[in-house]
Structure 1
Amino acid sequence: MEDKTKIQLTAAEISATWTQYINDTLTVCIVGHFLKKVEDPEVRPILEFSLNQAKSNISYLTELFQKEKFAIPVGFTEEDVKPDAPRLFSDVFVLAYLRNMSILGMAASSVALGMVTRPDIVKFHKNILKAAVGLQDLSRDLMLKQGTYVRPPTLSVPDQVDFVKRQHFLSGLMGDIRPLTSIEISHLFKNVETNTIGKTLIIGFAQVAENEDVKQYLLRGRQIAQKHIDLFSHILTQEDLPAPMLWDTGITNTSNPVFSDKLIMFHISAMIAAGIGNYGAAISASPRRDLGIRYASLLPEISLYAEDGANIMIKHGWLEEPPQAVDRKHLIKDK
């Protein structure tokens, strides 16, 4: 019987495994530091779960890359974290951070599973999805237990089925504006929450960044995140709906270097990319015109911010190049 693992990797499989390796090396650095500084005994096993899964993934991928003669990415190493640095974030924030990362992990593995086909790669991403769900369960359950989990707003349960009868359902720019749908509320709430976590992460990183380009970039990101938080929160509060709490108090007062500027820039860039995806999903799920326009108006701003971040990484030699197609024109020209 044919060995299915000898099938050449597709572009989707190369992309998914390369990206997973980079992300897991980042996780080892971040979570490894958190684990050394954790004080809450209930948070410790969740950090250990996340760290062990990342190390297991790296081990599997290293073996896969060697077998496929696939150049092993550099990613992030022990040089990107200062083991003896003081703690930067509180255990309460670390728990919220882990939950947010589990959501990103579930999304990424689901996308990968929709494109990969080789059985061993499919199995690998199924395991990643299972682990991400496990991390979500562990972090959510502890947050609920400790009273730090902020639930989305509650609504009255519909007692009848109805259908849209007027174009008024799509309006929102002027006149009598309909109430938000449960779907629109969910996206607004989630985007406040993710921007809040991102802002706290940015502030903490800004305190310990060493490069002036990186510091200024992070300060700009803080302003952008706050602007988006205020906008989405205002839409919710206008309809007497609660917005998620802020996590600024989850940062310690240390300014000693903890993570490398390379790691900081990559992590923030990855979160920006996830934020752009969240806004795109919100646009598609928000038929009220004013919401779609507001989301769309924010996308150029964060896209430009992401581009400026990439330029900083290129300037300092921090941006690792993803696998690319062969440049046939270049080969022909140089022949």
Structure 2
Amino acid sequence: MKNKEKIRLTAAEMSTLWTQYINDTVSICVNSHFLEKVKDEEVRPVIEFALNTSKENIKILQDLFTNENFPVPIGFTEQDVNPSAPRLFSDTFVLMYLRNMSILAMAASGMALGVITRPDVVTFHKNVLQSSVSLQDQTRELMLKQGTYIRPPYISLPDQVDFVDKQPFLFGFIGEKRPLTSIEITHVFINIQTNAIGKALITGFGQIAQNKEVKQFLLRGKQIAQKHVDIFSKILKEEDLPAPMQWDTAITDTTVPIFSDKLIMFHISAMIAAGVGNYGAAMGASPRKDLGLKYASLIPEIALYAEDGANIMIKHSWLEEPPQTDDRNSLIKGE
């Protein structure tokens, strides 16, 4: 077959393209509101870049889906956002939010490039990755300039190269605990920061949500996020290391609806999924047993929270189904 772009889409390619489309429709809704309400003229170009990137991705994906006779997902539309509503978050928080979104996008693009093969799909995801890296650079540089970038803790340089020669390196329950490694510190720091951002986002969304069930769900998420921030902050403080700040003060007092409850639930569910992935990665990178078990004990709590969120979305017909394989048994039975 000479034209490799005529090869059928694999399940991996379908999933990455479908997911990218849904995420970009969310990004357009959220960043449209941010752009409408931004006050800091240094932040404005960063929001415009993120918004325009998502719009360009949507155009490419719509053409690709049409050429493949693939039903174009609905995702989220103008009905899911009120750009002219009062601002909900400060420009400082918006910048931190975009930085966090760029990190998630880089991870998703990297995963996609590891499982896709069709040249046009590879090119698309490479462009998405490049845009994500650019957004990360823009947010980092501006936050450093404005003095709002929160660096991970500093530790002393090692005096020499050492190898682990004692089994207690893995212990963490009985006797004296060894100090945290730089790798363990990094993961603890990341999980404090993502939970703090998640808590601020959930708090703001809770103020503007309309459905009582959604409000209760978000209130519970706020409590879980704070609990996890406290747990991880305690780990750093016990090592005489600073914990990153939280973002509660970055939220205004508006209760005017800005985003639909459907968009709010999807966005929070996506962040929960990312959080589970972060905990799994941290657990695998933390040899000290007490840390590994701490992550393992927290994963079921957020997994159950995610399941409850999915049930709310299903109840209200907000959960759009991703592509699925054929149910061969039903086909055989003629159902």
**Count of paired positions:** 335
For the residues of structure 1 that align with 2:278 and 2:29, how far apart are their CA atoms? 26
Tell me which residue corresponds to 1:326: 326
Tell me which residue corresponds to 1:269: 269
For the residues of structure 2 that align with 1:159 and 1:63, how far apart are their CA atoms? 57
SS in 2 for 1:185: helix
Tell me which residue corresponds to 2:150: 150
Tell me which residue corresponds to 1:119: 119
- Offset at residue 229 of structure 1 (A): 0.1
Given residue 106 of structure 1, which amino acid in structure 2 is its aligned partner?
M
For the residues of structure 2 that align with 1:13 and 1:334, how far apart are their CA atoms? 29
Tell me which residue corresponds to 2:254: 254
Tell me which residue corresponds to 1:59: 59
What pairs up with 1:78-97 in 2 under 5 angstroms?
Answer: 78-97=78-97
- Offset at residue 158 of structure 1 (A): 1.4
For the residues of structure 2 that align with 1:127 and 1:82, how far apart are their CA atoms? 29
- Offset at residue 176 of structure 1 (A): 1.0
For the residues of structure 2 that align with 1:119 and 1:85, how far apart are their CA atoms? 42
Unpaired runs of at least 5, structure 2: none
Give per-residue Cα distances to partners, 1:135-157, cap 9 Å, x unaligned.
00000110011111110011111
For the residues of structure 2 that align with 1:3 and 1:249, how far apart are their CA atoms? 55
Give per-residue Cα distances to partners, 1:230-262, cap 9 Å, x unaligned.
000000001110111010011001000000000
- Offset at residue 83 of structure 1 (A): 2.4
Given residue 266 of structure 1, which amino acid in structure 2 is its aligned partner?
F
What pairs up with 1:3-42 in 2 under 5 angstroms?
Answer: 3-42=3-42
SS in 2 for 1:169: helix
Tell me which residue corresponds to 2:110: 110
Give per-residue Cα distances to partners, 1:6-59, cap 9 Å, x unaligned.
000000000000000000000000011100000000000000000010000000
For the residues of structure 1 that align with 2:245 and 2:174, how far apart are their CA atoms? 30
Give per-residue Cα distances to partners, 1:132-190, cap 9 Å, x unaligned.
00000000110011111110011111121000010010000120110000000000000
Given residue 201 of structure 1, which amino acid in structure 2 is its aligned partner?
L
SS in 2 for 1:157: coil
- Offset at residue 130 of structure 1 (A): 0.4
Tell me which residue corresponds to 1:179: 179
For the residues of structure 1 that align with 2:76 and 2:7, how far apart are their CA atoms? 29
For the residues of structure 2 that align with 1:333 and 1:82, how far apart are their CA atoms? 47
For the residues of structure 1 that align with 2:78 and 2:59, how far apart are their CA atoms? 16
Tell me which residue corresponds to 2:243: 243
For the residues of structure 2 that align with 1:3 and 1:37, how far apart are their CA atoms? 47
Given residue 171 of structure 1, which amino acid in structure 2 is its aligned partner?
F
For the residues of structure 1 that align with 2:113 and 2:230, how far apart are their CA atoms? 36
Tell me which residue corresponds to 1:299: 299
For the residues of structure 2 that align with 1:173 and 1:127, how far apart are their CA atoms? 47
SS in 2 for 1:30: helix
Give per-residue Cα distances to partners, 1:199-243, cap 9 Å, x unaligned.
000000000000001000000000000000000000000111011
For the residues of structure 1 that align with 2:326 and 2:293, how far apart are their CA atoms? 39
For the residues of structure 1 that align with 2:103 and 2:165, how far apart are their CA atoms? 36
Give per-residue Cα distances to partners, 1:63-85, cap 9 Å, x unaligned.
00000000000000000001221
Given residue 331 of structure 2, which amino acid in structure 1 is its aligned partner?
L
SS in 2 for 1:163: coil
Given residue 60 of structure 2, which amino acid in structure 1 is its aligned partner?
Y
For the residues of structure 2 that align with 1:93 and 1:173, how far apart are their CA atoms? 38
1:192 paired to 2:192:
yes
For the residues of structure 1 that align with 2:42 and 2:299, how far apart are their CA atoms? 38
For the residues of structure 1 that align with 2:251 and 2:4, how far apart are their CA atoms? 49
For the residues of structure 1 that align with 2:179 and 2:28, how far apart are their CA atoms? 44
For the residues of structure 2 that align with 1:57 and 1:28, how far apart are their CA atoms? 11
Given residue 65 of structure 2, which amino acid in structure 1 is its aligned partner?
F
For the residues of structure 2 that align with 1:31 and 1:112, how far apart are their CA atoms? 24
For the residues of structure 1 that align with 2:2 and 2:59, how far apart are their CA atoms? 26
4+ residue runs of structure 1 moved beyond 4 angstroms? none
SS in 2 for 1:317: coil
What pairs up with 1:121-136 in 2 under 5 angstroms?
Answer: 121-136=121-136
- Further displaced range: 210-219 or 156-165: 156-165
1:167 paired to 2:173:
no
1:213 paired to 2:213:
yes
For the residues of structure 1 that align with 2:311 and 2:178, how far apart are their CA atoms? 43
